[in-house]
């Protein structure tokens, strides 16, 4: 088995696939990349048993074969090469020899047949979506997903596809984000929960990529196919909580404000808040928003006044500043609206501008109890 490939082209693909490999694997074979050669196509795969990703590269070769090469060693070596052709030759003594312009490097390989096979999906449902739209949907929601091992359903992003549109939801019980696209529709109704790791991989690869992504899914697995890559992952098992029930419907108090100004104020004032609760207080009266925080233990306090557009009753409400800042940073609008009903009910944050036609973002942030 022998093939010739460009060093930077190979490195670029392997760096993406390297994101799949865990630092500590139960099976030693998972520390390797699987190289499968057929004619002049080289398919490289990486897996952690839950997620398997493969990319197909064009190489110069007329052989077939499959071997598993140590991922860390290969990546570290490729990073040091300037752009040049590399020749890989499988030798008889169980090593692969890589020849560059300046030298030769031999590394031991494992049998490719030991590598776990990617799951095949039985009669899956299919939806097609543009890569950059999927990347936006992931980055707008994934930050709100939880990290609680006791509630695994909340540690992923809920995909809800219907003939009306696509909805993506994430929550950790303190904050919730719902991202909807009405301009893209699925053929049939489907719901599944995607784990964070494959989503982060997809987000990184698809960020500036408007190629179409085909999503196939059944009850236990999902498969994403785009360009020359395929990602298959196991879905999170369980029923997603009824998120519509927690979004308050009647919110008579509406605050409209410049996002950057609001975000900067919250960030500055929160430096003076209590280090365990991160509590800040919003006091709204007329066209004035007063943001304050106090750390009684250290006698630190801060207060800022902003002008805003407000319709509703005067009110005081407390929020965890970290959640509020995170949400404001994940919106790209110039103006945002915060809708509230009562100091003990969730506030709804929505962007007023900067959205595409048919695109909606709703962010929900739970209040914290204020101590008078």
Q: Are residues 202 and 233 in the same domain?
A: yes
Are 303 and 235 in the same domain? no
**CA distance linking residue 126 with residue 213, whole number of Å:** 10
Number of H helices, E strands in the chain: 6, 27
Residues 239 and 254 reside in one and the same domain: no
pLDDT at 88: 97
> What is the count of structural domains for the chain?
3
- pLDDT confidence band for 372 (50 / 70 / 90): low
Query: What average pLDDT does the chain have?
Result: 95
CATH number, domain of 89, equals: 3.10.150.10
At which of 114, 139, 166 does a domain end? Answer: 114
Q: What is the pLDDT of residue 186?
A: 87
CA 179, 183, 189, 192 dihedral sign is: negative
371 confidence band (pLDDT: 50, 70, 90): confident
SS (H, E, C) 45-78: EEECCCEEEEEEEECECCCEEEEEEEHHHHHHHH
Contacts of 315 (CB under 8 A, 6+ apart): 253, 283, 284, 340, 342, 343
Residue 181 placed within a domain = yes
pLDDT, one tens digit per residue, over 206-246 is: 988 889 999 999 999 999 999 999 999 999 999 999 999 99
Share of the chain above pLDDT 90, in %: 92
Q: What percent of the chain has pLDDT over 70?
A: 100
Residue 99 CB contacts under 8 Å (≥ 6 apart), including other chains: 86, 87, 89
Shared domain check, 137 and 87: no
CB contact at 8 A, 331 and 351: yes
Region 279-283: mean pLDDT is 97
DSSP state of 142: G
Is 295 found in the same domain as 274?
Answer: yes
Q: Which of 83, 114, 145 is the last residue of a domain?
A: 114
Clarify whether residues 130 and 69 are in a common domain: no
> Do residue 229 and residue 319 come from a single domain?
no
Same domain, 219 and 263: no
- Which of 82, 114, 146 corresponds to the end of one domain? 114
The verdict on 7 and 40 lying in the same domain is yes
Residue of higher predicted confidence among 121 and 371: 121
Average pLDDT over residues 148-161: 94
Provide φ and ψ at 79, rounded to 5°. -60, -25
Nearest to 303 by CA among 314, 288, 323: 288
Residue 119 has pLDDT above 80, yes or no: yes
Tell me whether residue 119 is in a domain: no
Are residues 288 and 331 both part of a single domain? yes
Given this model, what pLDDT does residue 301 score?
A: 95
222 shares a domain with 131: yes
In a domain, 120, yes or no: no
pLDDT in tens, 54-106: 999 999 999 999 999 999 999 999 999 999 999 999 998 999 999 999 999 99
Domain span at residue 145? 125-244
Is residue 353 domain-shared with residue 257, that is, in the same domain?
A: yes
pTM of the complete model: 0.92
pLDDT at position 207: 86
């Amino acid at each position: 088995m022998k093939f010739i490939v460009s060093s930077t082209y190979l490195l670029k693909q392997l760096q993406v696939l390297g994101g799949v490999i865990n630092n500590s694997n139960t099976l030693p074979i998972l520390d390797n990349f699987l190289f499968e050669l057929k004619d002049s196509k080289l398919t490289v795969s990486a897996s952690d048993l839950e997620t398997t990703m493969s990319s197909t590269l064009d190489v110069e070769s007329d052989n077939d074969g499959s071997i598993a090469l140590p991922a860390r060693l290969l990546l570290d070596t490729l990073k040091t090469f300037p752009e040049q052709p590399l020749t890989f030759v499988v030798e008889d003594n169980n090593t692969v020899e890589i020849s560059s312009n300046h030298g030769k490097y031999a590394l031991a390989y494992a049998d490719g047949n030991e590598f776990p096979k990617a799951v095949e999906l039985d009669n899956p449902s299919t939806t097609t979506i543009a890569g950059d739209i999927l990347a936006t949907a992931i980055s707008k929601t994934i930050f709100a997903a939880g990290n609680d091992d006791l509630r695994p359903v909340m540690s992923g992003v809920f995909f809800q596809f219907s003939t009306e549109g696509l909805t993506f939801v994430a929550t950790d019980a303190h904050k919730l984000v719902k991202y909807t696209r009405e301009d893209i529709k699925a053929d049939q109704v489907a719901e599944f929960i995607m784990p964070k790791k494959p989503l982060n991989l997809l987000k990184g690869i698809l960020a500036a990529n408007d190629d179409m992504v085909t999503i196939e899914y059944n009850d236990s697995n999902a498969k994403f196919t785009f360009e020359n890559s395929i990602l298959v992952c196991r879905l999170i098992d369980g029923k997603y909580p009824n998120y519509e029930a927690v979004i308050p419907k009647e919110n008579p108090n509406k605050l409209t404000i410049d996002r950057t100004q609001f975000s900067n104020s919250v960030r500055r004032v929160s430096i003076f808040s209590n280090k365990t609760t991160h509590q800040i207080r919003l006091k709204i009266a007329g066209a004035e928003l007063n943001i304050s925080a106090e750390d009684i233990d250290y006698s630190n306090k801060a207060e800022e006044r902003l002008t805003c557009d407000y319709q509703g009753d005067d009110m005081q409400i407390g929020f965890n500043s970290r959640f509020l800042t995170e949400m404001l940073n994940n919106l790209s609008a110039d103006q945002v609206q915060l809708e509230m009903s009562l100091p003990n009910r969730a506030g709804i944050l929505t962007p007023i501008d900067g959205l595409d036609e048919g695109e909606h973002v709703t962010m929900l942030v739970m209040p914290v109890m204020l101590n008078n």
